[in-house]
Structure 1
């Protein structure tokens, strides 16, 4: 990876799944001046605090991985929290990075920015071409706003603020809350506890038919740093003024049923799987078109079963810690 190994790089959201993976990757590459700040040190919802933080530190690059995240249940239950907090966090960081003269920033979005009925696989051009999935529309709108913030600061102020849109992520430091987590950590925990109790059956929300693409967070971190370190000419040649974001994924999907069967294998659950079709399925299919990222020289390397074993190993090692979630 090219770049000054002594430059100050601020990773916002370093305690989260993606932020912690980016920090691990940067350190592995030899970067020695990685700036982080927990909620007890910096409230990202407080614009004055964020402004003071940027004015105090000589920051060269920002990875904006901080966000309020959750699964279908959390998004449906707390829509106001999801849109408000995500809008404020990204607006504060992008504005104050600009005010402090930070030229390079990477905003991490989500594949939920695309319309519910977007043509599969979803290309970057699908943005704003149709209605969003209702269950996470507030969160998606906040992420779309983040993309447009980056584009607008580039257009008006000549900044180099880039955006990457990951598919469904999983891995170490994920949220394993039994109700407010995404599908992989929720199922890993559910199957693990079923094995411990000796259950004969595990019930999975939905029909099991929707198709999803999953990316290990270490691959996401590698892709994020790859995109950040592309020279401006190469990046601009592969994006457009009004289409600055880049999809990040594997380009391969599976059904929720197939995912559950793989998780049963990884956790050692030998009982019966049943699907509760009364629960919402969400978007029928979400597969990213990752041809643009491949053209820029990067593709995923961690297979799903291998990644699930890694995530499960982390969960088992940190089971007591995750109980507080």
Structure 2
């Protein structure tokens, strides 16, 4: 256990606002809270509440007065989307975060969890990446705008802790996947993109699949249900200024990942690599010692998680983001 570990037993009847409750992470957190018996959950779709509208956010938070806020709302996308629209990713995410954090601080919300991304760390940070690596080097240029927005959120949480003494915390997940993911050809992250690509190859009767990059970068993956479990665990167990890395502590090359996905979907053709496309950061493996010191471990293995995600994708293909 760390000095930052203390009990914050959450009352099953208190009001919990999950910002981004329909997204990949937010929906998983919502399911996990419901499973644990939390009965007063509050969520608003983007049609119901525009989180970039400061006045609307302040009015909503003031009316609802949640005792817990989980800030999982964000504009997200894969390497191409981040590289092509950096101004959009920076502006929208900074506005979402600042509005929610400021509105929650205005009513002194007792407990808040801000969710970031492992892309906040320098491109060439020593591996595995510790929380102390933050702001020690240059960011990966393909998603630096998104990373800067998330760094601003971390600093925002730390500032509230210093100014108001509120036990707000931040969690930085590794690459997430699972039910509710984005399978769009232009907006998805690597794992759902691979699932869609290999599944489509089977549907088309294709004998080969071409993936982006060289296949050599190493990435860590965490099932979103494990992420949700970790979030609730941290809300009840952690109180410190440092962001907490959330991951498995194990990584895999993109080429190896492609092999696991191909096996999960039943594709037995050839795989080639388009080396004209960017690889991104060479390796991104999180040091999860701090999280483990609080007593948490992941439960879903990568192969199990990918198989279940393939099943979910095929069952929901007509209704999901493609």
Alignment TM-score > 0.5, same fold = yes
Residue correspondence of structure 1 range 216-227 to structure 2 within 5 A: 216-227=223-234
2:39 is paired with a residue of what secondary structure?
coil
Q: Report how far residue 40 of structure 1 moved.
A: 1.4
- Residue 82 of structure 1: aligned partner: 89
Counterpart in 1 of 2:112?
Answer: 105
Of residues 297, 304, 307 in structure 2, which corresponds to 1:306? 304
Tell me the distance in 2 between the aligned counterparts of 1:17 and 1:180. 13
Q: Does 1:283 align with 2:281?
A: yes
Distance 1:84 1:187 in 2: 29
Q: Superposed, which structure 2 residues align to 1:121-270 within 5 Å?
A: 121-230=128-237, 235-236=238-239, 239=240, 241=241, 244-270=242-268
Shift of 1:310: 1.4
Number of the residue aligned with 2:292: 294
Q: TM-score normalized by structure 1?
A: 0.95
Q: Tell me, in whole angstroms, the C-alpha distance in 2 between the residues paired with 1:207 and 1:97.
A: 44
Count the aligned residue pairs.
315
Q: Which runs of 5+ in 1 are unaligned?
A: none
Query: Aligned match of 1:65 in 45, 62, 72?
Result: 72
Partner of 1:2, secondary structure, is: coil
1:58, CA displacement in angstroms?
2.7
1:273 and 2:304 are equivalent in the alignment: no
CA distance in 1, matches of 2:65, 2:243: 26
CA RMSD, Structure 1 to Structure 2 (Å):
1.0
1:14 matched to which residue of 2?
21
* 313-322 or 114-123, which deviates more: 313-322
- What is the CA distance between 1:321 and its match in structure 2? 1.4
Q: CA deviation at 1:65?
A: 0.2
Deviations 1:114-133 (A, max 9, x none): 00000000000000000000
Q: 1:301: how far off?
A: 1.1
Q: Report runs of 4+ in structure 1 exceeding 4 Å deviation.
A: none
CA distance in structure 2 between the aligned counterparts of 1:104 and 1:68, rounded to whole angstroms? 23
Q: CA deviation at 1:101?
A: 2.2
The SS at the match of 2:319 is: helix
Q: Shift in Å at residue 275 of structure 1?
A: 0.8
